[in-house]
Structure formats: C-alpha cells, structure tokens
A and B are shown apart, each in its own frame.
Chain A
Amino acid sequence: MTELTAPNVVASSTRSDRRRRILQNLLRGERPYMLYIAFVILLVVFSLSSPWFLSIDNFLNIGRQTTLVSIIAVGMTFIIIARQIDLSVASTLALSGMAAALAMSQISNSWIVGAVAGLGTGALVGLINGILTTQLSIPSFLVTLGSLSMARGLAMMVTNTKPVIITNETYFAIFGEGTFLGIPVPIAWTLAAMIVGVLLLHYNVFGRRIYAVGGNPTAALYSGINTKRITTAAFVLTGTLAGLASLVLSARSHAARPDVVQGMELDVIAAVILGGCSLFGGRGYILGTLFGSLIIGTLNNGLVLLGVSSPMQLVIKGAIIVAAVAFTKR
C-alpha cells in the first residue's frame, strides 16, 4: 500500500496535472455536472418554447438582471461555506445605495465619494453582523434577521422614504450604463466580483481558512486559526459586495430608493445553495454560485417570456429551486 504514495510526488509537477488541478478548483462540487446539466436543460426548454429566448440581446438581458444576485452571491458563498447565513443583504444594499446617493448630493458630487460611501456602508453593516455573531455568540440567522430590519428602517428614515436623485454622469457610466471592453459594465462588475471570489476562495490563504472554519470549527481552532476573525471577514466581504451591487443598481436607475430589492436575500441564498454549497458548511465553489444565479435569472426571464402570470412565476420558481436542490444534493 505504501508504494501508492510514491508516484504522486512525481506526478504533481507535470503540467497536465496542474491544468487538471485548476479545472478542479473551478468546477469542483459533490456532483459538479448536475448543476451544468440542469442549466442546459433549462436553456433548451426555454429555447424550444419561446422564439425570443435564444438571442444575444436576451442573454445580455439575463446577465443584467442577475447582476445584483450574482455579485452578492459571491460573498454569500463565503458566508455559507463558513457555516453562517446573512439575511440582511437586500437591506444592506438599500442602505448602501442611499448612503452613496446622499454622499454625492450632500458632500461632493464625485463618483469616488459615492463609491466610497456605498462600499463603506456595506462593509460597516457586514462588520457589525460579524462582530455580533462571533463576539456575542448570537447565531448569525438572528443577528442578520435583526440587521435586515434595522438596515431597511435606517434606509427609509434618512429621507423619510423618499428616493434620492443622482446626477453624476461618470457614476452612471462606471457602474450602470457604460461598457468595459465591449461588455456592459453591470456584467463586467459581476465578472470582476466572480474573479475576485475565485482568487480569494480557491487561491488565497483566506479561502483555505474559510473552508476549515466551516468544515470543522473546533478542528480549525485547534489548528491555530482565529475562527472569529475569519468569520467576521466573510461578513465584511458580503456587506461590501452588497454595497457594490447598490452602486450598480442606483447608477442604472439614476437614483437610490430605500424600498428596492425587498426579499432578494432569498434569491441570493437559493443561488448559492443551487450552486452546490452545503448549508452545513465546508463545501461550495464560486463557479457553482455563478451558475446558481444564472439558473435563477434564466428562470425569471424565461417565465416572463412565456407569458406566465407573476403569481404563477413565484410558484414555479419555488418548485424548481426545491427540485433542483433535491436533485443536486449529495
């Protein structure tokens, strides 16, 4: 049996092995192909039943519509792998958007000020979530249930529920309406978040620790990992990404409104779980999350094109999510 170990030492340095390793990093999952098969089935069904579905324009549409969910889902992947949950992301997005718009209208009409205010607010909410969860040992479900309500309430209080108009053209171009290398910026930002997510989770020390903390918190502690700091960092990352999503949304609608995207946290969590994360922690990968959000976005888009009534859309979407999770879980 021991001789089995020897060839591996040699094999690891070959180039093909290295390529396989990278592929594994991106595609890994318990039954990785199920997710992609599910996505393809969805594409085929909608292509056959709607003549408008299969077009570049429509796919860009899906991409734009899934932007918010996809960006935040990157952060949620870290949180769920670390055995936590964040229910506050949609409220954080609303509050961050208000902060960005108010900073530009009250302090200085510069896109940098808006971006810093939006991202900073998101990060701050994440930091508070993380500190309450780890230092006071309150389950993150309860902490973020509270901040879901508080962040939304604060967003409404600052302007007494009125929207804040944004007038900065550069801001619109950078976050909402421009293109980057021919790609609409919302999609470019999504890709950027995904790439950062892949690097952090699969190639960075932080990612290793996230997996360990979620896989077995006690063993992680016994291995000298500061589990509280790592968990808090995951919340900060998610809050910051909710801030980024708020910039994209407000730049697209030229205003920040305090009542946007209510209930979106459920789409985000559904996307991450569809993408193969285990709610019990320690398992998950970013590309899975991307496909999870794409499945949710495609469902939303396809059902509209088919002319399904919106109450019926909710029913079908819910049923498909449950079925897909039952299908893809190990």
Chain B
Amino acid sequence: MELSGSVAAESLPSTSLVMVSAINKRFGGVRALRDVNLEVRAGEVHALLGENGAGKSTLIKILSGVHAADAGTIEIAGKPVEFDSPAKSREAGIAVVYQDLSLVESLSVADNLLLGREPRAAFGFVRKRALMARAEAFLKELGIPLDTRATVGSLPFAYRQMTEIAKALMGEVRLLILDEPTSSLTSDEVRILFDAIGKATRRGVGVIYVTHRLNEVFEISQRVTVLRDGANAGTFVTAETDMKRLVNAIVGTDRSVSIGARTEPAAKRELDPSPVLSLSNVSNDRLRAVDLSVLRGEIHGLAGLIGSGRTEILETVFGLRPLESGAIEIEGRRWLPSGPADAIEQGVALVPEDRHVQGLVLDHSIERNVTLPRIPHFSRWGWMQQRAAARRAETAVARLAVKAPAASSLVRTLSGGNQQKVVFGKWNDPRPRVLLLDEPTVGVDVGAREEIYAVIRNAARDGSGILVVSSDLVELIELCDRISVIVNGCVARTLSRGEIDDAEELHHLLQMYQASGLSLSQELSA
C-alpha cells in the first residue's frame, strides 16, 4: 500500500521515452485520429482518457503495431521507429496488456512467463527446472507475489493480470500499455495491480494507463492526456489539475454549448403517461430487481459504467437473456420473451452495441441487411418478392439519408455512421413499439451523429418508446426525457429532465453511485 502511495508522490521524471507526433489514421470514411501527440517519459505513469470512440484504442493499436498510422511519427528514446507488425513493436520494447488476456490458461505461471523462450536442452526438450528457477528469480526481482507453479486458469483475475504484466515485463520492455486494467477487478485486486505498476515504473519503464475511472487517474498517474473525437483535448500534470477540468476536457465544452442550442428541448414535450414497456422486479443472472418504465414517445436513457448491467437490461427485453423472476409488460399486457423472434413479433427492436458483430452482415448489401428482420413480410408463400424488398430498402436509404451509391452496395464499404443508419433501417418500418438502442453513436463521426439523433427523435415523435444505453453522457442529456442510473445490475435512481442540467453533473452522480456501490474497504483505503 505504501508503494502505490509513493508512486503518485514521485516527481515527474524528465527523460522522454516515447514521443508520438501528429499521428493520423482513417478507417474508411471515419477519421479515427487527427494529429494526435503523446509523450511518455521513463518511469512515468501517463493516463490516457477519453470517451468510447475517442481514439484511445486506435492509438494503442498503432503503438503496438496492429494498425499502421497514415501519417505522423513515433520516436523511442529519440530514434524514429516504424512498426509494420506487433512483433516489431515488441522488439522495440513496447508491451501491451489487453483487457482480454493473452495467457494460456492450462499452463502454469512459469510456463506462461517463458512461453516461446523456454530454456531448452538437446532435441528441443524443455529444461523444466531451469524454467522454474528463471521464472521464480524474475518474479522475486520484481517483487510480485505469484506462485510460479499455479495453473493460470485457477488464479483469481487480478493475479492473472499480474502474470500478464510480469510476462510483458520479461525481456527488454520500455513502455507498458495497460488498457482498462481495473474494469473487472475488486478493490483489493486494484491495490495489487497498482503495486505491480509501481514496481515496473521503478525500473524506468514508462506506462500508458487507459481508463474510464477518474479517481484512479489521481491515484496513480503523473500526467494525463485526454482524447476527444480522435484529437488531443489536452495534456495535464495530474497534481495540477482536478476532476472538473478533466471531465470538461473529456466531454468538450463546445458540445455542451450545442445542447443549449437544441431546436427541440425534450423537456417541453407532453408525454402520454401510459407506458409501452414496463419492467417490474426483473431479475436474472446479471440483473437485480430492475424497475423501469418507458412511456409512449419517450426517450429513456440508461447511464452506467460498462458491466453495470445496462446492456443486459436491453438483452433481457429482447429475449436474449432469460428472465428469472419479475415481469415485463408491453402496452399493459404481460409478456415473457422467448427469444429475439418473439420480441420482434411483439414490436420490440434492438440496435445492438456492436454493429459489426451483432447488427450487420458486412459482406451483404444494404438491401439484404435492411430486410433481414422482416423477411416473411417480403415474401408470398415462401418466395421472395424481390422488387418489394428492393423498394423497401430504397425507401429506407432515402429516408435515413444513407450515403451510398445504391441499395445494392455492400455494407462493408460504408462509413461507420452510414452503417449505423442501415442498422436503424432494419427497424424503420413498421414502427417498433419499443426501440432498444445500445451505444447508438459509437464510432460515428460528429456530423452523422446529429443525423442519428434526428432519426431517434423522429421515432419517438412517431410514438415508439425508446430505451437508450450510452457511455456518452452528453448524448444522454441531449436525447433523453428521463435517465436511469444503473449500478451493479439495478436501477439506482431515475432522473427526469428537470433534475439534471448537464453531462458533468450526471458524470459526478454516476461516479458517486458507482463509488457507493463499491466495497467499503476501497473507501477506507482511499
């Protein structure tokens, strides 16, 4: 504990280790990164913040050699480097610890640490004892309390992560990148992790620490860089900044202004008080007694951290996750969803979180994707009415202003925003009674985002009840009539329009509920 405390207390080191200058990256029509700069010094923990889709992952993938930058330079200790593969990046001393770990669960800690560089005897036999000794010596040197003999799969998550970090530190590592390492850790495990990070920085290793949790930034980092919409939104010395300034940088002041300029404030609309969807006491493996109602024409937001259960609420209503107890009602009638087909039949539609995996068949045309949920409606006695389907797709393309040469264009060739419009197009006609949206604007550029907001507002005006999950709090404030805060699988509070003013307030509220949901030991030790 004293170690982690001393990490933050250390003054900022002065030797520049990694210098990223003017990096640009495009994916199809989306500019993921625009002239991004980042400097990490030896022995520094440098926090990297930003909303989902702000460009953090892309930057990391460029540093780790997964993607190549379109323009810009990377220097390590003053020497320019170019990575055309992850191996090259590793050779240059950059190691990434991903959220999904890269360990072989059936092997021991020692085997994992020396995977691919096992001490060998003649004919390729592994010198097991030498391997154990080397692993043990290394862990001792680092001061990481791990049993080298333990099977990785049997370890608690934090220890697996520690193994991963130790593995990353084997060999010549100069820069360690941690991508949301604490997202699934308990508070005690977070301590263990911070200790391990402290041990790495003492050896002169630079650390890039990606996180959504602002309190961790103040606990562990010396500097912070914030990305917003693929560009730098500021670099701060942690000791000289505060929560408020960081939130402003993440959220962006320009966009808070645009909220005020909104043409149609959701607050002024009179809503029909009869709910189209109501959940009472809904529980299952991830939800605990969720009470929620969505009115006709209402846009109802679900705010919460990743893993809080907000996505699971949508999945439960869409029939993807079985209901264990509680009741769901649609327009006042009790209904037990048996699966997506049943949900669609009831007029429930879902625009899922990951459009590439869950929403679209990328190698198929817009037409095929748009007609997918309602194939029987475009057929007579089982035979496709191709012209009806084509007409339907063309109306959807026109109505949603999808920028594509034709309805027969492959979805893969479209930009993120237009792909997302195609997902909306799947549920456009007939109007769904309940429209579930999960992160509707992730990976969508600013212009298309406004268009998608218009689509959502139109759906609400036409009478759909809309439940929207978003990590972008500005988005929730801008769209929603009411917002429910989800913490640990249940609704902590439902706020109506007048109770909250801006994203910052919501952000603080969320942090507060999240913190109170954590275990007491975290509170005491912090």
Interface residues of A (CB under 8 A from B): 1-2, 4-6, 8-9, 12-13, 18, 21, 199, 203-209, 211-212, 215-216, 218-226, 282-283
Using Cβ atoms and an 8 Å threshold, which residues of chain A touch B318? 222
Establish whether residues B394 and A12, one from each chain, have CB atoms under 8 Å apart when the complex forms: yes
Q: Give the contacts of B373-392 with A (CB-CB under 8 A).
A: 373, 375-376, 379, 382-384, 386-387, 390-391
Establish whether residues A216 and B373, one from each chain, have CB atoms under 8 Å apart when the complex forms: no
Establish whether residues B344 and A224, one from each chain, have CB atoms under 8 Å apart when the complex forms: yes
Establish whether residues B394 and A9, one from each chain, have CB atoms under 8 Å apart when the complex forms: yes
Establish whether residues A206 and B382, one from each chain, have CB atoms under 8 Å apart when the complex forms: yes
Which of A5, A223, A282 is close to B397, meaning CB atoms less than 8 Å apart?
A: A5
Q: Indicate whether B149 reaches chain A with its CB closer than 8 angstroms.
A: no
Contact with A along B132-164 (1 / 0, CB 8 A): 000000000000000000000000000000000
Using Cβ atoms and an 8 Å threshold, which residues of chain B touch A13? 387
Establish whether residues B361 and A204, one from each chain, have CB atoms under 8 Å apart when the complex forms: no
Establish whether residues A205 and B340, one from each chain, have CB atoms under 8 Å apart when the complex forms: no
Closest 10 CB pairs of A and B: A215-B361, A224-B344, A224-B341, A223-B372, A223-B373, A216-B361, A1-B403, A224-B340, A5-B398, A205-B379
Contact A208/B386 with A8-B394, A219-B359 known, Cβ cut-off 8 Å: no
Which of B339, B363, B379, B391 is close to A283, meaning CB atoms less than 8 Å apart?
A: B363
Alpha-carbon distance A230/B361, docked complex (angstroms): 16
Which of B359, B376, B404 is close to A222, meaning CB atoms less than 8 Å apart?
A: B359
Establish whether residues B372 and A282, one from each chain, have CB atoms under 8 Å apart when the complex forms: no
Alpha-carbon distance A209/B357, docked complex (angstroms): 17
Using Cβ atoms and an 8 Å threshold, which residues of chain B touch A6? 398
Which of A9, A226, A282 is close to B364, meaning CB atoms less than 8 Å apart?
A: A282
Contact A224/B343 with A215-B364, A219-B359 known, Cβ cut-off 8 Å: yes
Alpha-carbon distance A206/B403, docked complex (angstroms): 30
Establish whether residues A211 and B403, one from each chain, have CB atoms under 8 Å apart when the complex forms: no
Establish whether residues B384 and A203, one from each chain, have CB atoms under 8 Å apart when the complex forms: yes
Which of B357, B384, B401, B407 is close to A204, meaning CB atoms less than 8 Å apart?
A: B384
Q: Give the contacts of B80-132 with A (CB-CB under 8 A).
A: none
Using Cβ atoms and an 8 Å threshold, which residues of chain B touch A18? 387
Using Cβ atoms and an 8 Å threshold, which residues of chain B touch A215? 361-364
Alpha-carbon distance A201/B121, docked complex (angstroms): 58
Least distance between B450 CB and chain A CB atoms (Å): 15
Least distance between A135 CB and chain B CB atoms (Å): 15
Using Cβ atoms and an 8 Å threshold, which residues of chain B touch A2? 398, 401, 403
Q: Which residue of B lies closest to A200 (CB)?
A: B382
Which of B357, B384, B391 is close to A12, meaning CB atoms less than 8 Å apart?
A: B391
Alpha-carbon distance A259/B383, docked complex (angstroms): 39
Interface residues of B (CB under 8 A from A): 318, 320, 339-341, 343-345, 350, 352, 357-364, 368, 371-373, 375-376, 379, 382-384, 386-387, 390-391, 394-395, 397-398, 401-407, 426
Establish whether residues B340 and A218, one from each chain, have CB atoms under 8 Å apart when the complex forms: no
Contact A222/B363 with A12-B394, A203-B386, A205-B383 known, Cβ cut-off 8 Å: no
Least distance between B485 CB and chain A CB atoms (Å): 26
Alpha-carbon distance A216/B364, docked complex (angstroms): 10
Using Cβ atoms and an 8 Å threshold, which residues of chain B touch A222? 318, 320, 340, 350, 352, 358-359
Alpha-carbon distance A58/B401, docked complex (angstroms): 56
Establish whether residues A5 and B394, one from each chain, have CB atoms under 8 Å apart when the complex forms: yes
Using Cβ atoms and an 8 Å threshold, which residues of chain A touch B387? 12-13, 18
Least distance between A222 CB and chain B CB atoms (Å): 5
Least distance between B505 CB and chain A CB atoms (Å): 34
Alpha-carbon distance A216/B368, docked complex (angstroms): 12
Establish whether residues B361 and A219, one from each chain, have CB atoms under 8 Å apart when the complex forms: yes
Contact A218/B358 with A224-B343, A224-B344 known, Cβ cut-off 8 Å: yes
Alpha-carbon distance A206/B394, docked complex (angstroms): 22
Establish whether residues B363 and A204, one from each chain, have CB atoms under 8 Å apart when the complex forms: no
Alpha-carbon distance A5/B384, docked complex (angstroms): 23
Could you show 29 A-B contacts with beta carbons less than 8 Å apart?
Answer: A2-B401, A5-B394, A5-B402, A8-B406, A8-B407, A12-B390, A12-B391, A203-B383, A203-B386, A204-B384, A205-B375, A205-B382, A205-B384, A206-B382, A208-B368, A212-B364, A216-B361, A219-B358, A222-B358, A223-B340, A223-B344, A223-B372, A223-B373, A223-B426, A224-B341, A224-B343, A224-B373, A225-B375, A283-B363
